[in-house]
Copies of this chain bind each other. A is one copy, B any other.
Amino acid sequence: MTYFIFCIHNHQPAGNFPEVIEAAYESSYGPFLKAISKHPSIKLTIHTSGFLLDWIVENRPEYIELLKSMVERGQAEVMGGGYYEPILQVIPQADRLNQITMMSDKLEEVFGFRPRGIWLAERVWEPELPTTLKKAGMEYILVDDYHFIKSGLTREELGGYYVTEDQGNVIKVFPGSEALRYLIPFKPVDALEAHLRGLKGFLKRGDAAIYGDDGEKFGVWPGTAKWVFDEGWLEGFFAWMEKNLHWLKPVKMGEYIESAGPVGRVYLPATSYMEMGEWSLPATASREYGELVEEARTWERGEEVRRFFQGGTWRNFFSKYPEANWMHKRMLLASQSLRERAEGRQWDEGLADAERHLFKSQCNDAYWHGVFGGLYLPHLRTEVYRNLIEAEKLASIEQAHSEGPSITVIDMDADGFDEVIIRNRELNLFVSPDNGGSLVELDFKPRAVNLSNTLSRWFEGYHHKLEKKGKTEGDEGAEGTRSIHDVVLVKEEGLERYLKYDTARRVSLVDRFLSSDVTLDSIYCNKYNDLGDFSNNRYNADVRGASLVLSREGEVRGGRVSIAKEIIPGAHNSFKVNYRMKNLSSRAGACRFAVEMNFILPCCDGPACLYQMTPPVADIGLGSRGEVSGVEKVGLIDTYTGVGLSIASGPPATLWRFPVHTVSLSEGGFEKIYQGACLTFLYPISLDTGGEEFEVSFDLLAEEIT
Binding site for B on A (CB under 8 A): 89-90, 92, 126-128, 150-154, 163, 165, 167-170, 172, 262, 264-267, 269-271, 281-282, 285-286, 288-289, 292, 304-305, 307-313, 315-316, 318-319, 322, 325, 329, 332-333, 336, 411, 414-416
Contacts and interface: CB of A to CB of B under 8 A. Distances in A.
Contacts of A318: 265, 267
A292 B305 contact: yes
B288 A304 contact: yes
B415 A313 contact: no
A333 B168 CA distance: 9
Given A153-B282, A266-B319, A267-B319, 15 more contacts: A89-B127, A89-B128, A126-B127, A127-B313, A152-B311, A152-B316, A163-B416, A170-B415, A262-B415, A264-B319, A265-B319, A267-B316, A267-B318, A269-B269, A292-B304
B151 A312 contact: yes
A292 B308 contact: yes
A304 B333 CA distance: 40
27 contacts: A90-B167, A92-B167, A126-B127, A126-B270, A127-B313, A151-B281, A151-B319, A152-B281, A152-B311, A152-B316, A153-B282, A153-B285, A163-B416, A168-B329, A168-B336, A170-B414, A170-B416, A172-B416, A264-B319, A265-B318, A265-B322, A265-B415, A269-B271, A269-B310, A288-B304, A292-B308, A308-B310
Contacts of A325: 265
A276 to B, nearest CB: 12
A485 B494 CA distance: 55
Q: Which of A262, A264, A308, A311 has the most CB of B within 10 A?
A: A308
A307 B292 CA distance: 11
A269 B262 CA distance: 27
A362 to B, nearest CB: 13
Given A265-B325, A269-B270, A152 B416 contact: no
Contact of A312 (B152, B167, B282, B305): B152
Contact of A309 (B90, B165, B168, B309): B309
A73 to B, nearest CB: 29
Nearest to A170: B414
A415 B127 contact: no
A152 B286 contact: yes
A311 B313 contact: no
Contacts of A312: 150-152, 269
A489 to B, nearest CB: 27
B167 A332 contact: yes
A288 to B, nearest CB: 7
A434 to B, nearest CB: 8
Contacts of A265: 318-319, 322, 325, 415
Given A319-B264, A332-B168, A163 B414 contact: yes
- Interchain residue pairs A-B with the least CB separation, the first 5: A152-B285, A267-B315, A152-B281, A310-B310, A270-B270
Nearest to A128: B128
Contacts of A285: 152-154
Nearest to A308: B309
A415 B163 CA distance: 6
A497 to B, nearest CB: 29
A537 B304 CA distance: 35
A150 B270 CA distance: 12
Contacts of A89: 127-128
A660 to B, nearest CB: 22
A397 B319 CA distance: 51
A260 to B, nearest CB: 12
B289 A308 contact: yes
A170 B411 contact: yes
A496 B170 CA distance: 39
Contacts of A127: 89, 126, 270, 313, 315
Contacts of A311: 152, 308
Given A310-B308, A325-B265, A316 B151 contact: yes
A105 B153 CA distance: 43
A264 B416 CA distance: 11
A270 B282 CA distance: 18
Nearest to A312: B152
Contact of A168 (B163, B170, B289, B414): B414
Contacts of A153: 282, 285
